Structure 1
Amino acid sequence: MLGVVAGHYVIDRPLQDNEVVFAVALIALSAKMAKADGIVSPSEIRAFEEVFKVPPEERANVARVYKIAQQDVAGFEAYARQVASIYKANPGVLEDVMDALFHIAKADNKVLQSEIDFLHAVADIFGFSDFEFERIKLSHIGGESDDPYMILGITPEISDEDLKKAYRRLARENHPDTLVARGVPQEFVDMAEEKLKKITEAYSRIAKSRGL
């Protein structure tokens, strides 16, 4: 059985069926993400290894799954649906997966449109709205827009009450303590701190404009 689960969680006990499915699906998704621009670069493989903390005794198993999956992008939707079905009640974990995939996409210092399309398709399967995807994307690669509503993944029509709820949810999900509790690597905790800063700044701008 694979010794990794949830992208970067090392398991020191026998895995349950869902955990095996999740581990295999996430390895395959990561490999297909690397292939989305047509070439799997050494930097993308290193990025994968940074996300997956694989025990030495399981490296051959993980490498075998990765090698098969990286041959082409086809079939990534099925793996994304498997991940989504297992963690549909835990969007925080699904966003961790998106963070991991963005980490791989950025590894060669450029993110092509084919990679953005891949990531957007995965986010859609995970149940993230277009606004939520834009928020996640902006936290990784920036963009032309610094619209605070876009950063929070909401629209200007949102009520003050729902605005506060959206901010609190994002702040809670991206708080470093929350990520530490989920067992993510320190690199992702650092990333969350930067995301939380952007989220707080965006909320402050909106709150000020509304007189809250």
Structure 2
Amino acid sequence: MSWLGAGIGAGIGMMFGGPIGAALGAWVGSSFGSGLKRLSEAGVTLNRDGVQTVFIVALFSMLAKMAKADGQVSKAEIQLIEDFINNNLRLKGEDRQQAIKIFQNAKNDDFSIYDYANQYRQLIRNQAMREMVYRLLFAVAFADGELHPAEEEILRKIPASLGLHESIFSAMFNEFTHRSPGSGNNLQAHYDILECSPDVSDKELKLAYRRKAAEFHPDKMASKGLPEEFMRHAEDQMKSVTVAYDTIVAARKREAAVSQA
């Protein structure tokens, strides 16, 4: 069964409307779409198949909005999406057609990227999975080697819609521009990754690291419904969390040594 078929089998289409429900309806037919119900204030509990379907539908819809943010979808952005489908997700046949259809529909629908992000935040409680969507939006924005003002505006504003800490923009920007944080102002990027400030105690720093590391633990990500093909992205994020913590600890030890000299 395809990822979309699994989600529909889980009954998610009849649970909510909004942009994600409309994206599902556009693919499987108007009769399905007309029966969609609005997301209730109490929220919707999705099983693993449902989470995977919502994740992929929301992801490809938001990737489409980001790719078109500067007015047109570039060849570099198309190639990145193609590589992502073929090499990372390894989608073939019906699965591939479904993902491309979701992407194409979202380019021209009446919803904004923020509409998708807001509903995705309501449906997906796991912060790590929301951070992964944000990381992939960054990848599309930088696909052509430059950050267009319209793309930057989205990347700065959308963390609020995704329910992410505002510091994530500077953390990702630092990573995607290939800077090498180590000391001084660049050390702030590592604090941003851990979502804490330089004035936290060593104990608070360790707690922040453990909290972020737990979010991206492979077993937890799998149990929350992250498709197996996305585990590499979770591992990359886990590495950045570990590097951030180790770099900050090393910097603090150097500062302590200097102050005692």
Query: Structure 2 length as normaliser, TM-score?
Result: 0.64
CA distance in 2 between partners of 1:204 and 1:105 (Å): 32
Amino acid at match of 2:103: Y
> Which residue is equivalent to 1:208?
253
Query: Number of matched residues?
Result: 206
Amino acid at match of 1:98: Y
Q: Of residues 133, 136, 150 in structure 2, which corresponds to 1:114?
A: 150
Q: In the alignment, is the contact (CA less than 8 A) between 1:51 and 1:100 conserved in 2?
A: no
Residue 157 of structure 1 deviates from its aligned partner by 2.9
Q: In the alignment, is the contact (CA less than 8 A) between 1:174 and 1:193 conserved in 2?
A: yes
Residue 73 of structure 1 deviates from its aligned partner by 9.0
Amino acid at match of 1:76: I
> Which residue is equivalent to 2:66?
33
Residue 29 of structure 1 deviates from its aligned partner by 0.5
Is 1:69–2:114 an aligned residue pair?
no
Q: In the alignment, is the contact (CA less than 8 A) between 1:33 and 1:115 conserved in 2?
A: yes
CA distance in 2 between partners of 1:119 and 1:91 (Å): 17
> Which residue is equivalent to 1:42?
75
Residue 160 of structure 1 deviates from its aligned partner by 3.1
Q: Are residues 191 and 86 of structure 1, via their aligned partners in 2, closer, same or farther at CA, if it must alter by over 3 Å?
A: same
Residue 161 of structure 1 deviates from its aligned partner by 2.6
Q: In the alignment, is the contact (CA less than 8 A) between 1:175 and 1:192 conserved in 2?
A: no
CA distance in 2 between partners of 1:13 and 1:69 (Å): 19
The CA deviation string for residues 106-156 of structure 1, in whole angstroms up to 9 with x for no partner, is 221222232122122221111212223322332333569412433433222
Q: Are residues 119 and 4 of structure 1, via their aligned partners in 2, closer, same or farther at CA, if it must alter by over 3 Å?
A: farther
Aligned CA-pair RMSD: 3.5
Q: Of residues 149, 154, 157 in structure 1, which corresponds to 2:196?
A: 154
Q: Are residues 59 and 84 of structure 1, via their aligned partners in 2, closer, same or farther at CA, if it must alter by over 3 Å?
A: same
> Which residue is equivalent to 2:174?
138
The CA deviation string for residues 6-45 of structure 1, in whole angstroms up to 9 with x for no partner, is xxxxx69935415344433222111001112222112212
After alignment, is 56-65 or 174-183 more displaced?
Answer: 174-183
> Which residue is equivalent to 1:166?
208
> Which residue is equivalent to 1:60?
97
Q: Are residues 110 and 4 of structure 1, via their aligned partners in 2, closer, same or farther at CA, if it must alter by over 3 Å?
A: farther
CA distance in 2 between partners of 1:65 and 1:178 (Å): 27
Q: In the alignment, is the contact (CA less than 8 A) between 1:24 and 1:65 conserved in 2?
A: yes
